[in-house]
Structure 1
Amino acid sequence: MPDEGMTNLDNSQQKELGAYIGRLLRDSFGKGPEGTFVSIGGHFVTVYLRNFMSPTEQILMEQRQEAMVVSTRATLMEKLIPEIKTGILFITGIELQELYYDWGLHNRSGMMIGISVEPFAAPPVNETYVGKAQVHREVDDISQQAQKVPDETYSCELNRRTLIVIRNGILVAIEKELIRLGYEIALKYAKGNLEKRYLHNSNHFESSLNKKVIDIFLDWDFVRDKSVIAFVLNE
């Protein structure tokens, strides 16, 4: 059973969507997640995956071949994203404009974050949560250490256990050139490792939110010069 606040299992669309994505991942990766928890609010839908790693991937991780796991998953997800968007449209009637994903390979977790064109028929997000100013300040400081201060930072609580942070305008010139030369996957892997290290090492998020940080996920849309961070929290 999911933790209270992560998802509402009485919602048939959430249950159907979780089952659909779990089945799709199992068919594509050979092993699906043991837990697939869907949260919907405002223009956002998140899918939190628990205990998601195939036996082959486990062997590669033991051999310190994490980059190979990330690269293989990126190739598979490139093919799956259109199917995931279609499934969400079919189940909810809402079209996704953007879909981000990331993995917590150290604890076999994962997260997908979708942003819709129209709002879902779901509760609104909380844009005035406690600790918001401190969270923005810390995210901006970490962004500056890794690349540059975002042109714009937005955040909201999707529910008591899911915090979404969106950064616009964070790429520097050398990153844009690497993208132009075709090094997108390598750049995402490097940026992910660097920024996650800063995010996980910060003690400001837990003190500002008065919650424990269980997982942190982040992804980029290089075309939009946009990044999404998802914090999974425990009250």
Structure 2
Amino acid sequence: MSNKPIESEISSYVGKLLRDNFGKGPSSVYVSIKKPFITIHVRDFLAPMEKILVNQSEQERVEQTRDMLMRELLPEMKATINVTADIHLQEMYYDWSLSNRSGIIIGVMHQEDHVSHTDEYEEKAEVHEEINHVSKQAEKAPEKIESFYINDRTLLIIRKGILVPIEKELIRSGFEQKLKLVKRHLEKRLINTASFEQILGLPVGDAFVDWDFNQDLSYVVLILKPNQK
């Protein structure tokens, strides 16, 4: 059965929710469902006040404000999607690219193994090697890496077991949100999109990162641009 009607319904709902709460909604919301994941890619999403702050090099203030709003919105978003689309999300993650005025929201439907091991693609080993390289520079090599395509433009990468002792101590001491902001900036600087473009043979339009510190896992999403023929 096609997911298109459900994806369209979720797209409309998320666009309205963001517009109602941020004062300006995204120009497009692209929803993809591939169990156990749902990805929501928003484009051209930057409120007028946020634009002023970004232009004044106050990106961190925008990120902190968005974090506060999203902590309020995610439970509502999860509950509404559960009811209206019959998709039972247990966890949700998100990240923004303020320079590209875009963002990603990831929903996880259940706690079982995240990836089907039959879902292979030609460049998987090279992608995992590059992710391992990035992770070692930022913290340590992951204990496990999995990846697969949600659609032909969205590559989801999951890292497990990457936190180092000092990060775990910061989390126990109540610095989770600050640590997440710092790690986002660091890892997104380290993600060499040119390397992934060479591996995948496609331009990378966006790279997003988020973590679940309690489970010691991280999601990386690469948004690819198809070649124009």
TM-score by length of 2: 0.92
Contact 2:138/2:186 (CA < 8 Å) preserved in 1? Answer: yes
Structure 2 residue 161 is matched with structure 1 residue 155: no
Deviations for 1:205-228, whole angstroms, at most 9, x for unmatched residues?
112111111100010011111100
Could you say which residue in structure 2 is the equivalent of 1:185?
177
Identity over aligned pairs, percent: 45
Give the length in aligned residue pairs: 222
Could you say which residue in structure 2 is the equivalent of 1:61?
54
Say if 1:54 and 1:98 are closer, same or farther in 2 by CA, change over 3 A: same
Say if 1:102 and 1:125 are closer, same or farther in 2 by CA, change over 3 A: farther
Say if 1:184 and 1:85 are closer, same or farther in 2 by CA, change over 3 A: same
Could you say which residue in structure 2 is the equivalent of 1:30?
23
Contact 1:188/1:220 (CA < 8 Å) preserved in 2? Answer: yes
Deviations for 1:129-167, whole angstroms, at most 9, x for unmatched residues?
120000001101110110001111110011110000001
Could you say which residue in structure 2 is the equivalent of 1:217?
208
Q: Distance in 2 between matches of 1:113 and 1:125?
A: 20
Moved over 2 A (4+): 124-127, 201-204
Q: Distance in 2 between matches of 1:202 and 1:116?
A: 29
SS in 2 for 1:158: strand
Shift of 1:234: 1.4
Q: Distance in 2 between matches of 1:94 and 1:128?
A: 25
Could you say which residue in structure 2 is the equivalent of 1:164?
156
The 5-angstrom pairing of residues 1-235 of structure 1 reads: 11-117=4-110, 127-199=119-191, 201-235=192-226
Shift of 1:198: 1.1
SS in 2 for 1:130: coil
Shift of 1:27: 1.1
Q: Distance in 2 between matches of 1:126 and 1:12?
A: 27
Gaps of 5+ in 2: none
Q: Distance in 1 between matches of 2:176 and 2:36?
A: 27
Say if 1:34 and 1:125 are closer, same or farther in 2 by CA, change over 3 A: farther
Deviations for 1:78-101, whole angstroms, at most 9, x for unmatched residues?
011101111211122121121110
Gaps of 5+ in 1: 1-7
Deviations for 1:169-213, whole angstroms, at most 9, x for unmatched residues?
1111111111112211211111111111111x3532112111111
Q: Distance in 2 between matches of 1:175 and 1:205?
A: 27
Q: Distance in 2 between matches of 1:89 and 1:114?
A: 11
Contact 2:193/2:204 (CA < 8 Å) preserved in 1? Answer: no
Deviations for 1:105-125, whole angstroms, at most 9, x for unmatched residues?
001000001111289xxxx89
RMSD: 1.8
Q: Distance in 2 between matches of 1:202 and 1:23?
A: 31
Q: Distance in 2 between matches of 1:13 and 1:94?
A: 9
Contact 1:94/1:118 (CA < 8 Å) preserved in 2? Answer: no
Q: Distance in 2 between matches of 1:154 and 1:125?
A: 9
Say if 1:143 and 1:32 are closer, same or farther in 2 by CA, change over 3 A: same
Say if 1:164 and 1:126 are closer, same or farther in 2 by CA, change over 3 A: farther
SS in 2 for 1:106: coil
